[in-house]
Amino acid sequence: MQINEYIDHTLLKPTATPDHIITLCDEAKQYEFVAVCVNGCYVTLAKEQLLNSEIKIASVIGFPLGAMATNAKVFEASQSVLDGADEIDMVINLGLLKAKAFKTLEHEILEIKKEIGDRVLKVIFETCYLTDTEIKIACKLSINAGADYIKTSTGFGSGGATFDTVKLMKAEVKDQLKIKASGGIKNTTTAKKYIDLGVSRIGTSSGIQIVLNPQ
C-alpha cells in the first residue's frame, strides 16, 4: 500500500467553514486518501462532494471531550450515519475510565456500535491523559464492545500519538482490533514508523505534506 492509502484527511477545527470542507474533499480526491474526517455538521456536505468516489467519510462523536451523555452520543452517531458517514470516531468518557466504571464505559461503546451496525467504529482514548494500565483496560473494553479500531488521540488534548503508546496498544490488542494513530503526525518519516508499528490509519491534517515531502 502507498502511504496515502493510510491517511484520514482531517479537518476538525471549530473555525472550519463549508468552503474549507469542500477544499478538504477536493484534496482527498486529488491525493486519493482513504477517508476524510469531519465534524458531524459537515457529513452531508462531504457526502455531496465525494459522490462517486471511494473515499470514506468519518464523523467524530462526543468530540473532543467524550463527556456527553451516552444517549446523546448514540443519537449523534445515528444522525451521522443517516447523513452519510461510513465511519464513526467516538471519544470515550475519560472520567468514567478513571473512576473504574468499566461496565458503563463498555456499554456506551457497545450501544454506539449497535446503532451504527456494520459501519466502522473507532474508539478514541485520548492517551495523553491515561496511564498505561488505563490504556490496556480501554483496549479490552473496546474489544469486548465490538469496536473495529482503537485510536490514540483527538488532536485537541495535551499530547498526540507516541510510538511507545502505539506499541502498548498493539501488544494489548494484537490483531483483534486495528489501530489509528493521530495527533502531531506531520511528516513522512513519522507516519511510516507508525505504519511499521502496525497502525492501519493515520489521522492528520498534514496529509498532503506527508505525501509530497518525504523526509
Reported residue count of the chain is: 215
Q: Which residues contact 173 (CB under 8 A, 6 or more apart)?
A: 139, 142, 143, 150, 179
Q: Which residues contact 196 (CB under 8 A, 6 or more apart)?
A: none
pTM (2 d.p.):
0.97
- pLDDT averaged over every residue in the chain: 97
Q: Report how many domains make up the chain.
A: 1
Q: Could you report the per-residue pLDDT of 11-29, keeping only the tens digit for each?
A: 999 999 999 999 999 999 9
- Confidence grade of residue 215 (pLDDT, cut at 50, 70, 90): low
Q: Which domain holds residue 135?
A: 3-212
CATH of the domain at 202: 3.20.20.70
Which active-site residues does the annotation give?
Answer: 89, 151, 180
Q: Could you report the per-residue pLDDT of 144-202, keeping only the tens digit for each?
A: 999 999 999 999 999 999 999 999 999 999 999 999 999 999 999 999 999 999 999 99
Q: What does DSSP assign to residue 93?
A: -
